[in-house]
Each structure stands twice: as structure tokens, then as C-alpha cells.
């Protein structure tokens, strides 16, 4: 156990030092010489202070991401090898004999510990955003979101975990397939209710107040054969200065949403370009493809988790204090393996997402035919979020679901020239 703890801590520190060196010394965010002086060059639309702040803020934000993810793995691993998970299970069994009750008590312990231990990274992220003028959220509002997030995740995941443990007890060999079959309607259900049930827990949504702009957006929707009769705005200015807009939900619960920061800081033509981009996701059925790919990936993922859990328990079950796959103590290992697999597949998922975003940019250009507004939109997005125009390769691989601003602006500049 001591060896396992020592090596895990040593590997985490080494990884942290490598990431710090990579982000601050081992790579450069400068744009290629060929693009200097063009509209993609941040020096043409940011002043010297904004350029400096964008580099500092982006690197710090990336560092926190790359440190937080393996820290989550480290916490789950230590909960196992230090016997904490076993103590949680024993405590739950002492409190009640009811299996569902044991699952609920155990999972509450596990959720509380992991949430509390993850708070320092969330706190640092909040403080960094505040110090660089990105976040406008009060401490009380930030803490409220943390509490809401905890209980929403706990409620959803308790249902998932209770079902999972029941399936494992019923069949240790086929549980993964039954879990996948049940996940299909559950995934569709969550996607359907998210816009009208989950999102309003965090922010206030209302119909777009600017009626003239609303009609122009709905005209775009009509041109794209989108059966939309409303556009929503959300009061994100209470939390951030960043800009955003999105399409979420499926079927009758689909929503086109604009952040109020976007309404306040962008021109009408820029907003229309963003809206055309978001409508492209609906027209090209990207949301449905995302749901379908999630279902397909979960099939492969659950099978791999099943095989990996069997192997680990057979080889190191004693060290990890896991007797059988059906014991509650297996849950940290389940979350650890699924998180590692999710992280490993994220570059492929991000690549597909970037392709969809490129298609949406092209669609928006075809609809609006306003290259100037499109370029200025991405420049404004870079300035308000203090994001790097040309991030390091490792960052793009694991974090970027959209093309980099360098790629998006240069694409727009080349659009229509061929």
C-alpha cells in the first residue's frame, strides 16, 4: 500500500512539473510568420496589455485543467488503497440493511469527499477568472452553483449507480450490456429535459426582449427551415463577461439561446452570424449525431470497463480492498477507469466536434455572406475571453471542441477566393 501511494504521488508531481514546463516554457503560442499582420494576428485587434493577459490567463487556465483531471484519478485511487472506500461500505451496512439505502449512504460519502477535495481547483479557477476580469460572479452565487451542481449530480448519479449495482448483482458477466441498453433511453431523456429542467436551475431564461433582432433571427430560422417560434436570452452577465450562444435539446424542447453578454457587446450583424452558425447545428443534425455517438461510445466503453475491472480486481483486488465486483467498494475504481477512458477518447471526440464547427462556420457564411462581421465576431470572442489565438498542440488536442481562432479567421479570409 505504501508503495502504491508513494508511486502515485510521485507520478502526479512529475506530471504536474511536465505540464507546467510545457505550457510556460516548452511551447510557443506565437502565430506563424505567414499570418502576422493579417486579421488572424492578435496584435491587430488586441493591445499590448490584452496580449499579455491572454497569454497569462490561458496558460493558467490550461494548467488548472491538466492538473485537476489526474488529481481526480489520484483521489479515487487513494480512497481505494487507503481503505476509505471499504470503511464507507462498512458504515453504510451498519446504518441499514436495505441495499438501496446502503448504496445511497455510500455514494453520499463518496460524492461529498470527492467534491470537497476538488474544491481547491474550482476555487483557483474562480479566483483566476475574477482576477483577470472574466468572471463577474459573486462568491455567494459561485457557491450556490457548487451546491446546486452537487445535488443535481448526486440525484442523477445515485439513480445510475443504484441501477448499475443492481445489474452487477444480477449478472457479473452481462451487466455492462444491460447497463448500456438502459443508458440509451436515459441519455435521450436527459438531452430532452436539459433545456427546460436542468439549465434553469443555474440561470434565468426569458424570451429575447429585442423584438427587431428576434424577427431577424426568426427570419434566418425560417430560411433554414427551422420550426422556431422563439429565441431565448440568459442573464450570464451576472457571472461572466465571456460571449456565447448555443442550440440545445431535441425535438419540441430544442432552444436557441443567446447570452446577454453577447447581446450587449456584439453588433447586430455579428449576432446574426453567430445565430446562423448555431442554426447550422440544428440543420446538420449535430445534436442527434452527438447523442448517437455517445450511445455508440458508451457501448464500447462499458465493455472495456467490464474487462478492465475484472482484470484489476483479479490482480490487485487485495491492495485496493475490493472483494468482488458486486461490492460497493468497486465504485471508485469504476469512476477511475471510466474517467481515464473518457480522457483518452476526448481527442477523437474533439476532432469530430471541430469538424462540425467548421461546417457550421461555412453554413453561417453561406447564409449571411458577411465576412467582415464573421471575422470581427471571432476577434471579439478572443478579446473578451482572453483566449490564445494559436494554443499549444496538446491543449488543442484535449480541450478544443472548436477550431482555434487562427484556423477560424484564416478560413473566413480564404472563403470565396477559390
Whether the CB-CB separation of 165 and 326 falls below 8 Å is answered with yes
Residue with cell 468572471: 135
Closest C-alpha among 170, 190, 192 to residue 178: 170
Q: Is 155 exposed, middle or buried (0-12, 13-18, 19+ CB in 10 A)?
A: exposed
Q: H/E/C letters for each residue in 216-249? A: HHHHHHHHCCCCCCCCEEECHHHCECCCCEEEEC
Residue with cell 458508451: 298
> How far is the CA of 53 from the CAs of 43, 49, 61, 310, in angstroms?
13, 6, 12, 48
- DSSP 3-state assignment of 135? strand
Active site residues: 278
Measured CA to CA, the distance from residue 348 to residue 357 in angstroms comes to 14
Whether the CB-CB separation of 239 and 137 falls below 8 Å is answered with yes
Whether the CB-CB separation of 371 and 416 falls below 8 Å is answered with yes
Give me the sign of the Cα torsion angle 381, 387, 392, 398.
negative
* Edge-to-edge strand ranges of the sheet holding 255-259: 205-207, 232-234, 255-259, 245-248
> How far is the CA of 164 from the CAs of 104, 174, 355, 362, in angstroms?
13, 11, 34, 43
> How far is the CA of 182 from the CAs of 21, 88, 170, 297, 299, in angstroms?
44, 27, 15, 14, 11
**Pairing label, strands 245-248, 255-259:** antiparallel
Closest C-alpha among 172, 210, 211 to residue 313: 172
Amino acid at each position: 500500500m505504501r508503495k502504491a501511494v508513494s508511486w502515485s504521488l510521485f507520478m502526479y508531481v512529475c506530471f504536474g512539473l511536465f505540464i507546467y514546463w510545457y505550457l510556460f516554457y516548452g511551447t510557443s503560442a506565437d502565430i506563424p510568420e505567414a499570418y502576422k499582420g493579417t486579421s488572424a494576428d492578435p496584435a491587430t485587434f488586441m493591445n499590448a496589455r490584452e496580449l499579455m493577459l491572454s497569454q497569462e490567463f490561458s496558460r493558467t487556465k490550461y494548467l488548472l485543467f491538466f492538473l485537476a483531471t489526474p488529481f481526480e484519478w489520484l483521489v479515487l485511487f487513494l480512497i481505494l488503497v487507503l481503505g476509505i472506500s471499504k470503511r464507507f461500505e462498512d458504515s453504510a451496512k451498519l446504518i441499514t440493511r436495505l441495499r438501496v439505502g446502503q448504496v445511497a449512504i455510500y455514494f453520499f460519502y463518496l460524492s461529498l469527499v470527492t467534491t470537497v477535495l476538488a474544491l481547491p481547483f474550482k476555487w483557483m479557477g474562480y479566483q483566476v477568472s475574477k482576477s483577470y476580469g472574466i468572471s463577474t460572479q459573486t462568491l455567494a452565487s459561485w457557491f450556490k452553483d457548487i451546491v446546486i451542481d452537487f445535488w443535481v449530480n448526486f440525484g442523477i448519479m445515485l439513480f445510475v449507480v443504484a441501477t448499475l449495482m443492481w445489474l452487477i448483482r444480477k449478472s457479473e458477466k452481462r451487466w455492462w450490456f444491460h447497463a448500456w441498453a438502459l443508458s440509451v433511453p436515459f441519455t435521450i431523456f436527459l438531452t430532452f429535459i436539459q433545456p427546460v429542467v436542468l439549465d434553469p436551475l443555474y440561470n434565468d431564461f426569458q424570451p429575447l426582449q429585442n423584438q427587431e433582432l428576434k424577427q431577424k433571427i426568426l427570419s434566418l430560422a425560417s430560411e433554414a427551415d427551422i420550426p422556431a417560434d422563439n429565441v431565448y436570452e440568459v442573464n450570464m452577465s451576472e457571472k461572466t463577461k465571456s460571449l456565447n450562444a448555443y442550440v440545445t435539446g431535441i425535438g419540441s424542447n430544442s432552444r436557441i439561446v443567446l447570452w446577454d453578454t453577447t447581446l450587449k457587446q456584439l453588433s447586430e450583424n455579428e449576432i446574426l452570424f453567430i445565430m446562423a452558425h448555431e442554426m447550422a447545428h440544428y440543420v446538420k443534425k449535430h445534436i442527434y449525431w452527438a447523442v448517437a455517438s455517445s450511445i455508440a461510445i458508451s457501448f464500447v466503453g462499458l465493455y472495456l470497463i467490464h474487462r478492465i475491472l475484472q482484470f484489476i480486481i483479479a490482480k490487485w483486488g487485495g491492495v485496493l480492498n475490493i472483494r468482488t465486483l458486486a461490492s460497493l467498494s468497486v465504485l471508485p475504481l469504476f469512476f477511475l477507469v471510466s474517467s481515464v477512458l473518457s480522457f483518452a477518447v476526448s481527442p477523437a471526440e474533439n476532432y469530430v466536434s471541430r469538424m462540425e464547427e467548421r461546417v457550421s462556420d461555412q453554413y453561417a457564411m453561406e447564409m449571411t455572406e458577411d465576412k467582415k462581421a464573421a471575422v470581427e465576431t471571432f476577434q471579439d470572442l478572443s478579446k473578451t475571453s482572453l483566449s490564445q489565438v494559436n494554443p499549444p498542440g496538446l491543449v488543442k488536442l484535449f480541450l478544443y471542441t472548436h477550431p482555434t481562432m487562427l484556423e477560424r479567421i484564416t478560413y473566413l479570409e480564404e472563403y470565396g477566393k477559390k
